[in-house]
Chain A
Amino acid sequence: MHAITLESQYGVPTVAIHTDRFEKAVRMTAYARGMPRQRQVFVPQPVMGKSPRELRAYVDGTDPITGRPVMEEVVEALTAPLGEEDRKKVSFERSTPRFAEPDTEENLHRLFLENQWTDRLPIVLPTEERVAQMLAATSHKPDEVVGRMRPTSTREAWEYTVEKVAVNAVMAGARPEYFPAILALAASQATARGSTTSSMAAMVVVNGPIRHEIGMNWGTGAMGPYNHANATIGRAYGLLSQNLQGGSVPGQTYLGSQGNNYAYNSITFAENEERSPWEPFHVQHGFKPGDSVVSIFTGCRSTAFTLGLRERYWREHVVNLLRGMDPHCPPTFVLDPITARQFVDRGGFDAKEKLIQWVYEHATLPAGQYWDYQLIQNYVYPRALNGVEPYATKLKAADDELIPMFRRDEIHVVVVGGETNGYWRIMGCNYQKSVSVDEWR
């Protein structure tokens, strides 16, 4: 990305060095950003954690893609004259047809699978009739643009309409009455299929009357495969993300090293507002209790859990869970109502904000350990150097001084569960935004 900027905006001959596992991804990115012949040289994966001696061997070695000496390619990339193809500036349109070619049901299922338009589970074929039924559940016109989405900030954003969202909703097996909630998720423009190597998934919390209207589950098994609305709204969010952003293909537009089973339905559930001792999540974020809202979290990878809050050492137990999180992935407490009430009883937290404040104050690390986390080095340390707060102040701490692991505004609390027991968990994730479902009815 920066190499293209240096070439095109600053006139600087540049070569980008990548690791070989990213060949397809970086060539696709260079093409889409308008420099298909950008000079690239590849070295073996990984660079991370290798010693200077091992990395010197990469420099002295060969490009694993071309087999040519790395430094010969670097020098050539900066000095070999450009050809006509390198210099030309042209524009060209790309388009997506409205329909697939007519075929038998069996062949169409195969086509959708081969084109990587599914999550590899069987889908409902989006016939024009089924899509029309889905579209009838919103007042919005089929050709209205809903938004733009991309798998990561360095990729190009693709555009989509109400009709395109409906096609994906049908594929997921969603019923038309779920469609306003699915449109709200699409309108968030936050992808549930990020291309990140970290294998993140999304999480969706639904609040307000829509929960009752479409029969969502906020009780026993709400985060599992036991409710049609929870299951298919979440699946639709994943399918629409991968298809409307232009793909989620391993090695090209998906690079999650391990993958993530949460991604099958983006952990979609309703908050148990009725049994929670606190105000609902959407009310915390500026909506009225009677509004129907979807709230989106991304970056879901890590989960910590325990049972209840013991009288003697509950504080230490919670801190132990928090210390197990990566400090770049802040905590959302996902509490069964039993445990939510225990937090009220044990800690006096009669509002979510009081629990959040306690977590902020007690989730701490020695500064030296905090700054040594790889993700903190990648994403936070450069910002601290640029004076961005609160990171710049944290950077002044001595190595053994305890500093907050998370920002207060990154910590969240949601109540869900059927009170069969007081099990609860902490999800490491980033709250993105809340979107009105009512505006998409």
Chain B
Amino acid sequence: MSEKKIVAMNPVGYPPTITQLGMAPRLDSLIGKTVYLVDCRFDDSDVFLRQMQAWFQEHMPGVSAVFVQKSGVYTEDDPRLFEEIKASGGAAVIGVGH
């Protein structure tokens, strides 16, 4: 092939600006709090999260680990559930994403 240098155009599109979002303050402790185990409804996530609920009951009985299923398919938000979790003052574990 020729050693002559040529110019080619870049085929990649233009990415959007990233605006970094702040994270929520963490809890001092989970004891006395509600931890929502949120099933995002993907491929047997419910079976996994119920095992995590059992772990909390055995190892951290002072934590109220509540299993909930998100409304709608896994890509859809569930504002009513999210408001409930916020009002509880607790935390959330959501899964299982793949």
Contacts and interface: CB of A to CB of B under 8 A. Distances in A.
Q: Do A and B bind?
A: yes
A197 B98 contact: yes
B47 A55 contact: yes
Interface of A: 1-19, 21-22, 26, 31-39, 43, 45-52, 55-56, 58-60, 71, 74-75, 78-82, 86-100, 102-106, 108, 112, 117, 125-128, 131, 149, 153-154, 156-161, 163-164, 167-168, 171, 197, 239-240, 243-247, 374, 377-379, 382-383, 385-386
A164 B18 contact: no
Contacts of B72: 382-383, 386
A156 B16 contact: yes
A56 B51 contact: yes
B83 A10 contact: yes
A154 B75 contact: yes
Contact of B82 (A10, A39, A59, A125): A10
Contacts of A18: 95-98
Interface residues of B, number: 69
Contact of A96 (B3, B14, B78, B91): B14
Interface string B69-90: 0111111111000110110001
Contacts, number: 290
Contact of A127 (B8, B16, B19, B52): B8
Given A3-B92, A16-B94, A378-B42, A98 B11 contact: no
A36 B91 CA distance: 19
Nearest to B90: A12
A250 to B, nearest CB: 15
What is the interface of chain B mostly: helix, strand, loop, or mixed?
loop
A141 to B, nearest CB: 16
Given A6-B94, A13-B92, A80-B26, A96 B5 contact: no
B51 A59 contact: yes
B6 A58 contact: no
A245 B16 CA distance: 11
A11 B91 CA distance: 9
Contacts of A49: 44
A16 B9 CA distance: 39
A2 B16 CA distance: 20
A6 B87 CA distance: 12
A156 B54 CA distance: 36
Given A34-B18, A37-B23, A59-B55, A126 B6 contact: no
Given A49-B44, A89-B20, A6 B71 contact: no
Interface string B1-35: 11111111111111111111111111111100001
27 contacts: A4-B21, A8-B22, A11-B86, A12-B24, A14-B92, A16-B97, A17-B48, A17-B95, A21-B98, A34-B20, A34-B21, A39-B23, A50-B44, A59-B52, A82-B26, A86-B23, A89-B19, A89-B21, A90-B19, A93-B17, A95-B14, A100-B10, A104-B5, A105-B1, A246-B12, A379-B73, A383-B72
Nearest to A93: B17
Contacts of A26: 97
A247 B13 CA distance: 9
